[in-house]
Structure 1
């Protein structure tokens, strides 16, 4: 499992803590939606319906694409690597003079740019740093060098410089920083709703942006039993008296 730049989660060595995001639940919902859409297309083409079977286990296994492939090739069981990319270096989170920064040197061209931007063109002459595979092979020698470089400036300073030259990077944000992030705001990914118990409440927005029929969040999630009367009355034909009796009997 990898540290996520915007979300700020990590898993290191034996630090087997639960991830802050319920990834199994979320992935199952997303895959279910894809499955339903696929079944609808099939129905429209053939007139035939079918069952859509999606399990949380299957979804989580499907997201182990990197680990399973590595095990298949090497026979070695992958272990937690924190923020480190399993096959590319330097591609992980580094400390700066103040806050952590995700650096993603994904290919040799970016490596050359990075070395020139940070004033370490001498590293370009090091034979065993010239390619992705060599940098990965000499990871233990390379990473301390990059650490020393990035500790010299603040994260903001590094971001301004690296962004100017197209070197992929990003902050490791705390939740308050996520909420205050300009791009997050621009994408309307933080929405305020009025919750009947909690009052004004911030929740995530809709990540799918449709040009013609954009979605919107109208209200907070209902409290327990909030929609009982509407659902039971409309779909089951129960009267207010019937519903009141069910409440008295603690059926609902």
Structure 2
């Protein structure tokens, strides 16, 4: 019954009807609507970043806010394998020759 009624109305009409009856609700937005919401950028919930491979992309920021503390800004993730040398070399003690062998075998 409710599904049939809602299918014949726009989202705006449904929200107006809900408001008229003091029924709390909010629209469900798709990803494109969320990522283009100017308010979310102004509030610092979304930010544009420059990704080294993808170019300009939108990332969400942390929703946690603390008084007197600057929010942590998200950034692009490191490229796959970018940390191989420090991890395998410095942390695990593999010699450079072994790293070359692993790269040649496409193991890392």
**Match of residue 192 from structure 1:** 48
SS at match of 1:194: strand
CA–CA separation in structure 2 for the residues paired with 1:242 and 1:184: 48
Call closer, same or farther: CA 1:215–1:170 in 2, change over 3 Å: same
Task: Give 1:215's match in structure 2, choosing from 60, 68, 72.
Answer: 72
RCO comparison, higher one (Cα < 8 Å, 6+): 1
- Once the 2 structures are TM-superposed, how far is the Cα of residue 249 of structure 1 from its aligned partner? 2.9
**Normalising by structure 2, what TM-score?**
0.64
- Cα deviation per residue 1:89-108 (whole Å; 9 max; x = unaligned)? x9xxx457432x6xxxxxxx
* Larger proportion of helix: 1
- Identify which of 83, 100, 108 aligns with 1:227: 83
CA RMSD in angstroms, aligned pairs only? 3.4
Query: Structure 1, unaligned stretches of length 5 or more?
Result: 1-89, 102-152
Residue in 1 that maps onto 2:10: 98
Alignment partner of 1:230: what SS? Answer: helix
CA apart distance, 1:206 = 1.3
1:243 is paired with a residue whose SS is helix
Please state how far the C-alpha of 1:223 moved relative to its aligned partner.
3.0
Q: What is aligned with 2:19? A: 162
